[in-house]
Amino acid sequence: MKDFKSRLFSSEARLSDLITAYPSLLSLLTRLDISLGFGDRSIADVCEASGVDTGFFLLICNVYTFNNYIPSTAAILGTDMTGLVPYLEKSHRYYVDKRLPHIERHLDAIAQKLSGRIGQVFISFFKEYKKEVEAHFAHEERDVFPHIRALMTGERDKTYSIGEFLHTHSDIEGKLDDLLNIVFKYLPPQVDDDNVLDVVYDILRLSEDLKKHTFIEEKIMVPLVKHLEKAVLS
C-alpha cells in the first residue's frame, strides 16, 4: 500500500501530463464528463470546472493505471461517490454503442473473407456475446443501480441486496479472450489484413477496459453499497 502511495496520481499534476504518460486514460474522460481542450490546467482545476469530484476522478484513474491497486474501504468511504453510478452507466453505453459496433464492423469485414458458413458461425459467435453483454448491463441498470441511487438519497430500499451481486456477477471478458485467440491464431492466412490487426488491438483494449469495469463494480461499488445498506438500515 505504501508503495502505491508514492506512485498514485495527485490532483496538482497537469491533466495533460497524466494523459501523456497513460494515453489509455483518454477514453475515460468523456465517461467522466470531462471534455478535451483542458490545456495546461491541473487535474483539480479541470475537475472543478467540469463538475467532477477530484477524488473520485483520481480513484478511477488510479484503478485503471495500477493493476494491483485496490482502494481501501476507508479510501472509498472518504471519497464522494455520487459520480459512480452515472460513470458506470456511461461506460455501459460506451461499450454497447461505440466499442462493440466498432469491433463488429471489423469482424463483418473479416467474415466476408471466410467461406459462407464459417463466416456465419464466426459472426454469430460475436452476436451471441454482444447479447450476453447487453443482458449483463441491463440487469445492473434495472436492479443494481436504482438500488444504489435510492440508498444514496437515504431511502431504505429492500427490494434488492448487494449481497446477491457477487454471486451472480458474471465474467464478461472471457468470451472476448476466446475471440482474440480465434482471430489471432486461427484465422486462415488469406484474411490476414488490416482488419485483423485493427480488431486485435480493439479487442485487447476492450478486454482490459471491461476487466477494470468489473473490478470497479466488485471492489469499489460492492464495499460502498454494503456500507450504505448498513448505514441506512441502522
- Residues lying near other proteins in the complex (CB under 8 A) are found at 114, 117-118, 121-122, 125, 128-129, 174-175, 177-182, 184-189, 192, 196-197, 204
Looking at the Cβ atoms of 20 and 124, the one nearer to other proteins is: 124
- Distance linking the first and last C-alpha atoms of the chain: 32
Cβ atoms of 83 and 52 within 8 Å: the answer is: yes
Report which secondary-structure segment, H or E, holds 139: helix 116-139
Beta bridge partners of 42: 14
What's the min distance (Å) between Cβ of 231 and other proteins? 40
Looking at the Cβ atoms of 13 and 182, the one nearer to other proteins is: 182
Buried b (16+ CB within 10 A) or exposed e, 39-58: eeebbbbbbeeeebbbbbbb
Looking at the Cβ atoms of 25 and 111, the one nearer to other proteins is: 111
Which of Fe ion, other proteins, none does 188 bind, CB closer than 5 to 8 A by kind? other proteins
- The DSSP code for 184 is I
Among 52, 60, 126, 140, binds Fe ion (CB under 5 A): 140
Looking at the Cβ atoms of 72 and 120, the one nearer to other proteins is: 120
From residue 64 to residue 103, the character string flagging contacts with Fe ion as x (rule: CB under 5 A) and all else as - is ----------------------------------------
Long-range contacts, stretch 57-60, CB < 8 angstroms, 24+ apart = 57/32, 58/8, 58/9, 58/10, 58/11, 59/220, 60/28, 60/32, 60/87, 60/216
Which of Fe ion, other proteins, none does 140 bind, CB closer than 5 to 8 A by kind? Fe ion
HSE-CB at 230 with a 13 A cutoff on CA atoms is: 6
Looking at the Cβ atoms of 125 and 215, the one nearer to other proteins is: 125
Chain residues that interact with Fe ion, rule: CB under 5 A: 140, 217
